[in-house]
Structure 1
Amino acid sequence: MATLLQRRRLKQTLQQQLDSTNGDLKALPCVLASETQTYNGREYTIVQWDGPDDPQNPRNWPSSRKWFATFLVALLAGLVGACAPIDSPIFPQAAKQFGVSEVSESLSVGIFLIGFGFGALIAGPVSEVLGRSVTYLSNVFSMCIWIMAAALAPNFGAQMVFRFLAGLSGASPLVCAGGTISDMFTPLEKTYTFAFFSLGGFAGPALGPVMSAWVPDSPYLHTWRWSEWIALLFSGVVFFLLLAFQPETFEPVLLEWKAESLRKLTGNDSYRALHEVEGVSIGQRLQVALGRPFVLAWHEPIIQVATLYLTVNYIILFTFFDGYTTIFQDTYDLSTGMTYTLFVGIAVGFITAGIYMPLVYSKTCKAARAAEAEGRKSFDPEVRLWFGMLGAPAVPISLFWMAWTAYPSISIWSPLIASVLFGHGFITIFITVYMYLIDSYQAYAASGLTFITLVRYVASGGMVVVGIPFYNNMGTHWTITILACISLLLTPMPYVFYKFGHRIRMRSPYASNKKILA
């Protein structure tokens, strides 16, 4: 609905411009800004924006419209993030009904995460060909269908298949959101907007277990299937919000709409968007886009290191999630509902990372001014690493803290505050990696993030299942200590890239070696 209205407004604007010029096509702003090119012996007018201030260009939309579109994408990311671990509190009930162990039932979360990984292979490239809005809408609609199927699953095997398909369908915001934000905001503006998206989107995994925390103990919700029904209700609300309000932001698609409107208004078939005249079919474009994540992963050391860094951190994250029942329920004798409600602590930690935004923005502005003083209006992507340099040390500190204070003799507030610090540090790592890659690869950012999403979610999905036996065999304190030691080894990564990232990009065949315009 939102995109239909957007196309209608675009056509009305062109009609008004045409009326104001008394039908003089050559006086239209978009025609004045366009250029004529010849393809296969035929001459085409390649449609561009009216100029740098064209109000149809997402970069020139009112701030309120851009921020609302960002909020919707963050809400979608929060939805899919919540749907993955929402089954965690109901493992015992579902396992009992299906006659499997709780470790086997934990695969319902793991298989959802693995679905994310493989879904990213489709969603990222499709968004670069068909546009952002259609990708989001088709994905969330499909996810609603598969979540409903999981709620009605007659056996364990069916539940696993439907949960995998739901994860497969829900991957779009994980790889496309960065592109949506880049469509609307300059790199300087993204310092705030992407952090805002991350804080909202990342609350999902922490709040998912909270949403179904009281299902097992409820006297009214008599089945574990209510965790899926809750996820479906949330998904339905988000789907209709996107349908009603989410605009298309992808420039090639918007210019294609503009060219189509010009053809209809003028009867002149020569008006085309650039990719319409290049002679490459949608199938061919998708084929190239689907293979690009692996090409980038093979050739780009930045993506290889970022994949390793983020994947190991995600393994730590979801293994840490697995330990909540032993950390809080077994140690402090809490109910299932209260135990999973304490995931709110991690979500609070995500929000507290916002204290860094003014400082990082100031650093980014300073880098932009310094670049301008040197005769260029640009800054290096390495300035994005400040989030990680400020916050990443909080992760090992919080894990060591929780590992050795989660005892019945010590107040529950100690490990709870440690969980807040954990969320605080983890979100800064995510923001740093994503913003650095988006600015480093620009047009290829979605493809680069696609490979990272695939690897980290497949690995994380496996660790969800492995994590429970890990805690049972090693014990809570030593398991979290091992996670803390691994995290400590990773902590220097943002500092290393801050010093040497520019040199790596200079030798990179795909990363942007030019400065990023502010």
Structure 2
Amino acid sequence: MTTANKTNSTPLGVEEILPQIPDCDVELADIGRVTKKDSNDPYLVAFAEPFDAECPRTWSNGKKWTVTDVLSATGFNRIMLSTIMAPALPVIAKELHMSSTESVMALSAYMLATAFGPLVFGPLSEIYGRAPTLHVSNIWFLIWNLVCGFANTKGLLIASRLLAGLGASAVYSLAGGVLGDIWTPEQRGKTLGVYLLIPLLGCAVGPIIGGFMAGTSTWRWIFWSTSAFQAVMTVASFLAFHETYAPVILRRKAARIRRETGDERYRTAEERLIGKRSLTQVLSKGLSRPIRLLAFNHIIQITALVSAVEYGLLYIVLTTLSILYQDLYRESVDISGLHYLAPCLGELVGSQIGGPLMSTIFKRLKRRENGAMRPEFHIPILLPGAIIAASGFLLYGWAAHFRTYWLVVDLGVFLAAFGGQVSGMPEQAYVIDSFPEYTSSATAASQFVRSLTAFGFPLFAPTFYAALGYGWGNTLLGFLALAIFVPTPIVIWMYGPKLRANARGIF
């Protein structure tokens, strides 16, 4: 991009910006407002045109995948910790004298923290950068996860799980931001599929690992072993993770030029827009952005609702599956944990089919529109994914109700996880492409609601199934999913462009 002063004050929508300016400019676009450029301003610090080695969108694929893989591996450990305790809950409850509700609280406190953490980490990554936010959260998470392994009271275990969850939560807001920083919309499906491969594996195999650790050793190794892995990933992130947020990269570039030249007139577009705002003003506006998006932006409200229902249903499955097999099928703790291979495979297959399929559909719709791109092009696969997920819940519930062969139950769980993943990916891609400048804040707003359901749904799941049984209980859950998911792609497709155009003033 050329150095240019933004002099025309007419705001443009994202779909108007993309044909006019290079990809990297979308990261600066607007910082509230995108306007026409004046190429005669020598003091505006921007990326060089047409390619700049510092621009994240023009990095080599090797560098992009290195950053993506580091974040993905970090997410594996953090997300695995959300479910790894599930099979060990009876053992932990007995040793620490916890009621069943208190033991579930120890599991769910982690997810409660992931609701509030992104509201802070997301905006901070847009102020100070993705890399510092990742490093600080890595260290914080490592400390408190280690404390979990030494907890000798139920209060300490619940509190340390909550604090560990705060550190783990950064990855939920960073992932969307980083992927949006370095990959183009056409690559969104493929890169989401590859990125999610490892974290989804962690989410599902966590209970398998936890079950065998609790059954053959002590549940404390759940936390000691994952802390050792986290220490390795913390070192790896310092060595291999590069800053990806374009405004932060440009601010550093401008500061370097000012030091070298002694000329204070060199400024980025963002610095000129912010002007002489105090740090307090910058932080207050940045930290309040996710809440403002959730309160006033209809796109975030719609996608957050879909994501919340999907996530809540997934965590009902993940927190009750082992209990189902222990209670109804009389299996041991470690053997019951093996059934988590079903949701694991469902999510993995869903991500690897859904991602490329989403990219293929996006490219076809783009060609049909003569090269024009809209975030709505990601949405079509949401509906079939929802139907598959609802069907899976019905099969899972009634198979468990009649105590059929365990493989039928696992097939239902597989379909529920597969469909949930296929329907969840377009929602994530849509948020990333609808908010290119503030992806982390937008993701944090959505994550807030989904983490609350992941925290809350498992708390009432035992009572819910006790009252309705697995058959009617899962029937109700399946129809709830259909009631939320079926209208969503229709609403987004018809009204998405208008909602995005009306959302510009919220930032």
Common fold, TM-score beyond 0.5?
yes
State the one-letter code of the partner of 2:84.
I
Distance in 1 separating the partners of 2:162 and 2:356: 40
Q: Quick check: 1:345 aligned with 2:342?
A: yes
| 477-486 or 494-503, which deviates more | 494-503
Instruction: Identify the residue that residue 247 of structure 1 maps to in structure 2.
Output: 242
Q: Quick check: 1:258 aligned with 2:245?
A: no
Distance in 2 separating the partners of 1:495 and 1:263: 48
Instruction: Identify the residue that residue 41 of structure 1 maps to in structure 2.
Output: none
Report the Cα offset of residue 82 of structure 1: 0.8
Instruction: Identify the residue that residue 331 of structure 1 maps to in structure 2.
Output: 328
Correspondence 1:173-188 to 2 at 5 A: 173-188=171-186
Instruction: Identify the residue that residue 161 of structure 2 maps to in structure 1.
Output: 163
Superposition misfits of 4+ residues, deviation over 4 angstroms: 33-37
Distance 1:493 1:72, change over 3 A: farther
Distance in 2 separating the partners of 1:162 and 1:506: 40
Report the Cα offset of residue 164 of structure 1: 0.6
* Alignment RMSD (CA, Å): 2.3
State the one-letter code of the partner of 2:443.
L
Distance 1:473 1:227, change over 3 A: farther
Report the Cα offset of residue 313 of structure 1: 2.0
State the one-letter code of the partner of 2:382.
G
Instruction: Identify the residue that residue 298 of structure 1 maps to in structure 2.
Output: 295
Distance in 2 separating the partners of 1:275 and 1:282: 14
Distance in 2 separating the partners of 1:66 and 1:324: 37
Instruction: Identify the residue that residue 56 of structure 1 maps to in structure 2.
Output: 54
Q: How many residues align?
A: 467
Residue deviations 1:261-298 (CA, integer Å, cap 9, x gap): 33344444443334445223443222101111222222
Correspondence 1:11-410 to 2 at 5 A: 45-218=43-216, 221=217, 223-277=218-272, 278-353=275-350, 354-372=352-370, 377-406=371-400, 410=404
Report the Cα offset of residue 250 of structure 1: 0.6
Report the Cα offset of residue 125 of structure 1: 0.5
Report the Cα offset of residue 153 of structure 1: 1.9
Residue deviations 1:64-110 (CA, integer Å, cap 9, x gap): 11122112212222222111122212212221222121221111111
State the one-letter code of the partner of 1:134.
P
Residue deviations 1:457-477 (CA, integer Å, cap 9, x gap): 123212222222323343333
Percent identity of paired positions between Structure 1 and Structure 2: 24
SS of residue in 1 equivalent to 2:290: helix
| 283-292 or 192-201, which deviates more | 192-201
Instruction: Identify the residue that residue 8 of structure 2 maps to in structure 1.
Output: none
CA contact (8 A) 2:306 2:485 kept: no
SS of residue in 1 equivalent to 2:106: helix
Distance in 2 separating the partners of 1:273 and 1:211: 49
Distance in 1 separating the partners of 2:438 and 2:504: 8
Distance in 1 separating the partners of 2:183 and 2:394: 39
Residue deviations 1:352-396 (CA, integer Å, cap 9, x gap): 122244433222112222333xxxx42121111123133221111
State the one-letter code of the partner of 1:209.
P
Distance 1:88 1:255, change over 3 A: same
SS of residue in 1 equivalent to 2:404: coil
Distance in 2 separating the partners of 1:136 and 1:438: 19
Distance 1:179 1:418, change over 3 A: same
SS of residue in 1 equivalent to 2:43: strand
SS of residue in 2 equivalent to 1:164: helix
Instruction: Identify the residue that residue 8 of structure 1 maps to in structure 2.
Output: none
Distance 1:70 1:486, change over 3 A: same
Instruction: Identify the residue that residue 477 of structure 1 maps to in structure 2.
Output: 471
SS of residue in 2 equivalent to 1:84: coil
SS of residue in 2 equivalent to 1:393: helix
Report the Cα offset of residue 182 of structure 1: 1.2
Residue deviations 1:299-342 (CA, integer Å, cap 9, x gap): 22222222222212222111122321343223332221121222
Distance 1:47 1:503, change over 3 A: closer
Instruction: Identify the residue that residue 487 of structure 1 maps to in structure 2.
Output: 481
| 458-467 or 182-191, which deviates more | 458-467
CA contact (8 A) 1:206 1:346 kept: yes
| 343-352 or 467-476, which deviates more | 467-476
Distance in 2 separating the partners of 1:273 and 1:281: 17
| 155-164 or 111-120, which deviates more | 155-164
Residue deviations 1:6-31 (CA, integer Å, cap 9, x gap): xxxxxxxxxxxxxxxxxxxxxxxxxx
Distance 1:199 1:249, change over 3 A: same
